[in-house]
Amino acid sequence: MLRRENAMVLLVPALCAFAPRAGAGQLAVEISAGVRSSTALVRDSIVTPFDVRPALAPALAVTLAMPLERSWAAHVTVDLSTSELQRHDADGSSVALGRVSTASFTVGLGHPLPAGFSARIGVGGLKYFAAEEAGIFRLGSGAIAGIGTLALSHTLAVGKRLGSSVEALYDIHGFTTPALQDEGFGSARTVHRVALTIRVHGRRTR
């Protein structure tokens, strides 16, 4: 499982190393929207195998980006997502278990690549919010989990005043709840998520 504390120790010095010259940068506000897929939060076998995972979810993020030295940029992102939690059984049937949402806060670095591409990495924290305290959330959703992100985007040749790009975003975090721990799930399960979004951004002088 990703340890947020260790990742922050590595990333914060990197941000400082590329610190911008005073008054030389611009602040970019970016808004992205798209769809996200997630691997299972729980996988077990009582009588027959089953897993519990969120359905395809809309994803919305707001990012503040500040140019640094050597074409790098610092990013701060708030990401929100919500979907129905579903149990999938081995026979192909599924049962809705209520709505679950996530909110994450990450900081990271980005850098342009050739041919209109750019890449970003980030670390931070993610929190689950269940609409009902039932099932795996009956004792609450637990602590904030550490999260790591990796994104690849490509600029779209549309718009004049606002820039836009299509972005593929991958993130990884550990998932557990007090109820799962109470039932003997001793360690957090590694969860992988992938999102495809459209990013729109404008700039203003600091």
| Pair of tokens at residue 181 | 């721990």
101-133 pLDDT, tens digit per residue, is 999 999 999 999 999 999 999 999 999 999 988
Q: Say if strands 49-54 and 42-45 run parallel, antiparallel, or are unpaired.
A: antiparallel
Q: 């495809």: which residue's tokens? A: 196
Between CA 11 and CA 128 the distance in angstroms is 24
The predicted model scores a pTM of: 0.81
Grade residue 26 by pLDDT with cuts at 50, 70 and 90: confident
User: 128 with 175: CB under 8 angstroms?
Assistant: yes
Query: 160-194 burial, b for 16+ CB within 10 Å, e for fewer?
Result: eeebbbebebebbbbbbbebbeeeebeebbebebe
CB-based burial label for 205 (10 Å; 0-12, 13-18, 19+): exposed
What pLDDT score does 20 carry? 42
What pLDDT score does 75 carry? 96
Please give the full DSSP string across 68-137, using - where no structure is assigned: -GGG-EEEEEEEEEEEEEEEEETTS-EEEEEEEEEEEEEEEEEEE-GGGEEEEEEEEEEEEEESSS-GGG
Grade residue 47 by pLDDT with cuts at 50, 70 and 90: low
More confident residue, 65 or 95: 65
What pLDDT score does 46 carry? 61
Between CA 172 and CA 188 the distance in angstroms is 12
- In order of their start, the domains of the chain are 4-17+30-46+60-205 (2.40.160)
| Pair of tokens at residue 202 | 């404008």
| Pair of tokens at residue 7 | 């990742």
3-class secondary-structure state, position 169 = strand
Q: Which of 194, 119, 108, 202 is nearest to 154 (CA)?
A: 119
User: 84 with 112: CB under 8 angstroms?
Assistant: no
Q: Average model confidence (pLDDT) for the chain?
A: 83
pLDDT at residue 2 tops 50: no
